[in-house]
Amino acid sequence: MNTPTLRAGPPALEITGVRKAYGSVQALNGLDFDIRQGEFFGLLGPNGAGKSTLISIISGLIRADEGHVRVLGHDTVTDWRAARRTLGVVPQELVFDPFFKVVDLLRIQAGYYGCGREVWPWIDEMLERLELGNKRTAMMRSLSGGMKRRVLIAQALVHKPPVVILDEPTAGVDVELRRTLWRFMRDLHAKGTTVVLTTHYLEEAQEMCERIAIVDKGRLRIVETTEGLLNRHPFRFLTLKLADGAAMPAHLAELVTSVKGDALELKLDRERHPIASVFAGLKAAGIEIADVSTREPDLEDIFVELTAKPAPGVVS
Amino acid sequence: MSPNQLGFYTLLKKEVMRFWSVLAQTVTAPVLTALLYLLVFAQALQGRVVTGYDGISYTQFLLPGLVMMTVLQNAFANTSSSLAQSKVNGNIVFLLMAPIGPVEMFLAYVGAALVRALLVALAMLAVAGPLVGLPIANPFALLAMFLLAGSALAVLGIIAGIVSTKFDHLAAFSNFIITPLSFLSGVFYSVHSLPPIWFTASHLNPFFYMIDGFRYGFFGHADVSIWLSLGWTAGFFVLMAVICLWMLFTGYKLRK
Ligand SMILES: Nc1ncnc2c1ncn2[C@@H]1O[C@H](COP(=O)(O)OP(=O)(O)OP(=O)(O)O)[C@@H](O)[C@H]1O
Ligand SMILES: [Mg+2]
pLDDT of residue B162: 97
How far is residue B190's CA from residue B185's CA, in Å, rounded to a whole number?
A: 9
Question: Please, are residues B80 and B157 in contact by the beta-carbon 8 Å criterion?
Answer: yes
B48 vs A: CB within 8 A: no
- Cα nearest neighbour of B88 on chain A: A95
Chain A contact probe: residue of B94, B104, B255 with most A CBs at under 10 A:
B94
Residues of chain B contacting residue A25, judged by C-beta atoms under 8 Å apart: none
Residues A71 and A147 in one domain: yes
Which residues form ligand 1's pocket by a CB distance below 6 Å? A 22, 25, 27, 45, 47-53, 92
How far is residue A153's CA from residue B83's CA, in Å, rounded to a whole number?
A: 23
Judged by its nearest atom, the ligand closest to the C-alpha of residue A21 is: 1
Residue A27 has, within 13 A of its CA and on its CB side, a CA count of 19
How far is residue A164's CA from residue A177's CA, in Å, rounded to a whole number?
A: 19
pLDDT of residue B46: 76
Whether residue A256 is predicted with pLDDT greater than 70 in this model: the reply is yes
Residues A104 and A160 in one domain: yes
How far is residue B102's CA from residue B96's CA, in Å, rounded to a whole number?
A: 10
The residue range of the domain holding A250 is 234-296
For A173-242, the DSSP string reads: --HHHHHHHHHHHHHHHHTT-EEEEE-S-HHHHHHH-SEEEEEETTEEEEEEEHHHHHHHS-EEEEEEEE
Q: Is the C-alpha dihedral spanning B213, B218, B221, B227 positive or negative?
A: positive
Under DSSP, is residue A117 helix (H, G, I), strand (E, B) or coil? helix
Residues A23 and A166 in one domain: yes
Contact (CB<8Å) A89/B99: no
pLDDT of residue A76: 96
Question: Please, are residues A42 and A211 in contact by the beta-carbon 8 Å criterion?
Answer: yes
Residues A82 and A121 in one domain: yes
Under DSSP, is residue A22 helix (H, G, I), strand (E, B) or coil? strand
How far is residue B226's CA from residue B222's CA, in Å, rounded to a whole number?
A: 8
**How remote is the C-alpha of A188 from its chain's centroid?**
16
| Nearest CA among A245, A287, A280, A241 for reference residue A264 | A241
In chain B, % of residues over pLDDT 90? 78
Residues A140 and A271 in one domain: no
pLDDT of residue A310: 54
What total of structural domains would you count in chain A? 2
**Residues A127-147: b if buried by 16+ CB within 10 A, e if exposed:** beebebeebeeeebeebeebb
For each of chain B's 256 residues, which pLDDT tens digit applies?
A: 578 999 999 999 999 999 999 999 999 999 999 999 999 988 887 777 767 777 888 899 999 999 999 999 999 999 999 999 999 999 999 999 999 999 999 999 999 999 999 999 999 999 999 999 999 999 999 999 999 999 999 999 999 999 998 889 999 999 999 998 988 888 888 777 788 888 888 899 999 999 999 999 999 999 999 999 999 999 999 999 999 999 999 999 999 8
Residue A312: pLDDT band (50, 70, 90) is: very low
**Residues B217-239: b if buried by 16+ CB within 10 A, e if exposed:** bbbeebbeebeebbebbbebbee
How far is residue B164's CA from residue B88's CA, in Å, rounded to a whole number?
A: 10
Residue A7: pLDDT band (50, 70, 90) is: low
The three-state DSSP-derived secondary structure of chain B is: CCCCHHHHHHHHHHHHHHHHCCHHHHHHHHHHHHHHHHHHHHHHHCCCCCCCCCCCCHHHHHHHHHHHHHHHHHHHHHHHHHHHHHHHHCCCHHHHCCCCCHHHHHHHHHHHHHHHHHHHHHHHHHHHHHHHCCCCCCHHHHHHHHHHHHHHHHHHHHHHHHHCCCHHHHHHHHHHHHHHHHHCCCCCCCHHHCCHHHHHHHCCCHHHHHHHHHHHHHHCCCCCCHHHHHHHHHHHHHHHHHHHHHHHHHCCCCCC
Residues of chain A contacting residue B89, judged by C-beta atoms under 8 Å apart: 95-98
Residues A48 and A152 in one domain: yes
**How remote is the C-alpha of B65 from its chain's centroid?**
11
Judged by its nearest atom, the ligand closest to the C-alpha of residue A200 is: 1
Instruction: Report chain A's C-alpha Rg in angstroms.
Output: 24
pLDDT of residue A315: 43
Question: Please, are residues A81 and B101 in contact by the beta-carbon 8 Å criterion?
Answer: yes
Q: Which residues, 6+ apart, have CB-to-CB distance to A176 below 8 Å?
A: none
**Residues A233-255: b if buried by 16+ CB within 10 A, e if exposed:** eebbbbebebeeeeebeeebeeb
How far is residue A239's CA from residue B36's CA, in Å, rounded to a whole number?
A: 83
Q: Which of A61, A81, A87 minimises the CB distance to B93?
A: A61
pLDDT of residue A309: 62
Residues A67 and A151 in one domain: yes
Residues A197 and A264 in one domain: no
Under DSSP, is residue A12 helix (H, G, I), strand (E, B) or coil? coil
| Inside any domain, residue A4 | no
Average pLDDT score over chain A: 90
- Nearest alpha carbon, ligand 1 atom 3: A22
ipTM of model: 0.92
pLDDT, mean of residues A160-178: 92
**Length of chain A counted residue by residue:** 316
Under DSSP, is residue A296 helix (H, G, I), strand (E, B) or coil? coil
pLDDT, mean of residues A280-294: 88
CA of A54 to the centre of ligand 1 (A): 10
How far is residue B69's CA from residue A220's CA, in Å, rounded to a whole number?
A: 57
Q: Which helix (H) or strand (E) holds A33?
A: strand A25-35
CA–CA distances in Å: residue B248 to residues A25, A143, B91, B251: 26, 33, 17, 5
Q: What are phi and psi of A78, to 5 degrees?
A: -80, -25
Minimum distance, in Å, between the CA of residue B194 and any CA atom of chain A: 46
Using most ligand atoms within 8 A of CB, pick from A15, A19, A47, A92 the residue to mutate for ligand 1.
Answer: A47
Residues of chain A contacting residue B21, judged by C-beta atoms under 8 Å apart: 99
| Inside any domain, residue A312 | no
**Residues B52-61: b if buried by 16+ CB within 10 A, e if exposed:** ebeebbbbbb
- Cα nearest neighbour of B108 on chain A: A112
Residues A239 and A143 in one domain: no
- Cα nearest neighbour of B249 on chain A: A77
Structural domain boundaries of chain B?
A: 3-250
Residues A43 and A153 in one domain: yes
Give the domain CATH number at A203.
Answer: 3.40.50.300
- Cα nearest neighbour of A89 on chain B: B97
- Nearest alpha carbon, ligand 1 atom 24: A47
Residues A40 and A177 in one domain: yes
pLDDT, mean of residues A192-217: 94
pLDDT, mean of residues A80-105: 95
Whether residue A313 is predicted with pLDDT greater than 60 in this model: the reply is no
pLDDT digits (tens, 9 = 90+) for A230-248: 887 778 889 999 888 788 8
Question: Please, are residues B105 and B244 in contact by the beta-carbon 8 Å criterion?
Answer: no
Give the DSSP letter of residue A250.
Answer: H
| Inside any domain, residue A45 | yes
Contact (CB<8Å) B95/A108: no
Rounded to two decimals, the pTM is 0.90
pLDDT of residue A268: 87
Instruction: Provide the terminal-to-terminal Cα distance of chain A, rounded to the nearest Å.
Output: 35
| Nearest CA among A167, A173, A165 for reference residue A148 | A173
- Nearest alpha carbon, ligand 1 atom 31: A48
pLDDT digits (tens, 9 = 90+) for A288-306: 888 999 888 778 888 887 8
